[in-house]
Structure 1
Amino acid sequence: MSVVHVEQLQKSFGSFVALKSIDLTVNKGEVFGFIGPNGAGKSVTIRTLLGIIRASSGQAHIFGKDVWTDAVDIHRRLAYVPGDVHLWPNLTGGEVIDLFGKLRGSIDRSKKEEMIERFSLDPKKKCRTYSKGNRQKVALVAAFSSNAELYILDEPTSGLDPLMEQVFQQCVQEIKDQGKSVLLSSHILSEVEKLCDRIGIIREGEIIETGTLKEMRHLTRIQMTVQADQSLTMLKNVPGIHDLANTDGQWTFQADNENLDEIIRFLAPLGVKKLESKPPALEDLFMRHYENQTRMDNSNV
């Protein structure tokens, strides 16, 4: 069952096309990672989903409701955390959290106190005294204290220290376990890799790849380290080998998944003493995807 459903969504600002036929689905109980560089269209997509800006064409629904015409009803059932939180300077953090709760309809006070403690937030300070990280904590406490069904998080850990990032990840896992849905936009690829069930990569206003990390790993290369009795110089002639290097008798290279069988057969008679492989990370997938696309773009110039 889909909580967010976007189909052929387009948004133009004058002659500039920010979104080009975006298709996106977030299912119930799923954490969906939305990644891409600055200017790729992540925030425009999210602002369209929130009913802040109106799409030029296409459809976008949350809970089966139109994101533009039914924005008020939708907002009662979701929580949103932006990457750069601006608060009322003369209110305390606690007052802001209570205000957000009242705007949504209600607030779970015991949960609010729990989140304040977990995020180490002083709710009695005026917002004008808060650092960026503490402003971010206010928004996160307000979101995780709610009983929302959908959490839209746009670079939510911006300004947080590593300990608070870990608390954030625990909170996301908890709401997922409760069957709630999360749309997570983040530039921290390790965070996306750890939390997300599916991933969408956006580039220049277009979704260029969507799927589970397992489904997308075929696009990446495995990092391998080998020590053997014989030289591996000829390995450079084996298909699927990239960036072969030798440091004090230890050979490192990247290997394409589809050529692993041939590579292992080549290595077997060479007296292998050590063989280590490192699984491809989301960052490898992300960077290779962009490198491939950039080469294609340049070849068309």
Structure 2
Amino acid sequence: MSKRALIKRLTAREQMLALAMINATDSILSFDRDWICRWAGGASLSLLGVANENLPTQRLCNILETNNREVVTLMETFFSGDQYAAILEIAAPHTQDTTIELNFRKVFDAGTVAGAIVTIHDVTQRKLKEDDIARQSESDPMTGLLNRAGFQRRINALINAEHADFSLAYIDADHFKDINDHYGHEAGDTVLKTIAARISHQTRASDIVSRFGGDEFVLAITKNQKDAAATLDRIVHAIHDEPIALDTGETVQISISCGVAPYSVGVSVESLLRQADSALYEAKKAGRNRTCEVSSVIVSPQTPAT
């Protein structure tokens, strides 16, 4: 009777486990030390594009259809290292725009590492929320451009890339205070939004366009200095040649001044900003509504003209 009761309890537990696997939203895979799948359960079909019964005997990298360096490195080091668990995020195979989280746990048999259990979870929505929060923290709420923090992240990535080739431009709206004083701050906001839109229209996706605050904009133009000057010249004309319509029915004509400095290896972002600001100061001294290149001025910190 004791044996029958034990068999009954085990059968009930197996049924509960099978039911849990059928309704699981995660995929749960068991691997040996060679990363060969020995057992699979859960939502493997929706997450991996492969039914559970077709997963055993396949290697992890083949199941994931990836040569992701992080995955390969983990497969090479996980069983020999001291770590008990690991977590990775990768793009899901077979499913576009889906991110999956791989949760690795070692399995022991008599004190020896026998393999690993890998739980796979869809984290797409969480990732989208995190990306949205990051975008908001790096965006200027008025214009939608990058703010100073967003610019810093993008420019650091650009500098760290191989063969970085760009010019940094400092842009300032001419006599912007007069617009705020005469037409009001709402009109000033309309002008800033229009300037931002026209700058964006004249630049490419690879360029970095940001608003540092007030009427100051900073661009990283991923071209050589000659092409950067031509881009800025188009921006100057695009902003000046078409008056800006205000909500009051009035129109205002605005111009900008630009200073541009080319990047060279070893030059810091702070130094480039100072150089571009110095060129901007010269552009204002020369009559505004123009671009001045840093090569034509003595580069030193200046007090910007108003």
TM-score of the superposed pair, with normalisation by structure 2: 0.26
Higher RCO, 1 vs 2 (CA within 8 Å, ≥6 residues apart): 1
Which protein has the bigger strand share? 1
Pair member with larger Rg: 2
TM-score of the superposed pair, with normalisation by structure 1: 0.27
